[in-house]
Amino acid sequence: MYETDLSILAKEALIKEEENSRFRDYLSGKDQNSLDELVFKLNERVSAAIDCTLCGACCRSLMINVTGAEVKELSRTLGMLPGDFKAKYIEESAQGHFIINQIPCHFLAGSKCSIYANRFTECREFPHLHKPHFKNRLFGTLMHYGRCPIIYNVIEELKKKLNWSFTENI
């Protein structure tokens, strides 16, 4: 059984901050491809056991990047003009990048996404544990360790699979 209680995850993140920092350092010496394969397998198992639609913590805490194509598609889905959609939901940077203009996300209803079938790519792919180059994203991944049950459990399972112990690595 995996831990999904967000209050426990938040406490564990504080308690294990130094441990996770040392674990990150330990992983830097691991082979990228082997580590990716292990993370893929753990993510597949953990993600299958945890229904992220019951949580919504990422929707309450992440800044979401959005593409122009997604703006057009979702505005059409919601029956809005793209300009009206952007005015209501999007902030545009000087470089032309789009982000949702509110945290928590406008589309969060309780702990569920009201546009789940049409959610943004960044939302669909979070927590990005299915992607290669896990080590390159480890710092950002660990930032969400105390907020995302999938990340928390994959990291804890990874420590076990690698027989890594904080006390042995002090």
pLDDT computed for residue 120 by the predictor: 96
What letter would DSSP give residue 144? T
Residue 45, pLDDT score = 98
Closest by CA position to 144, among listed 135, 136, 153: 153
What is the domain partition of the chain in residue ranges?
A: 6-58+127-169, 63-120
Peptide bond into 127 cis (omega under 30): yes
pLDDT in tens, 80-93: 999 999 999 999 98
- The predicted pLDDT at position 111 comes to 86
pTM score of the predicted model: 0.92
- Whole-number pLDDT of residue 147: 95
Query: What pLDDT does 170 receive?
Result: 58
Residues of the chain under the 70 pLDDT cut = 168-170
At 168 the pLDDT is 66
d(CA 105, CA 64) in angstroms, rounded, equals 8
Tell me the pLDDT of the chain averaged across its residues: 95
- Identify the pLDDT of residue 166: 86
Query: Using an 8 Å Cβ cutoff, are 109 and 11 in contact?
Result: no
Residue ranges with strand state E in 73-165: 90-92, 98-100, 108-109, 112-113
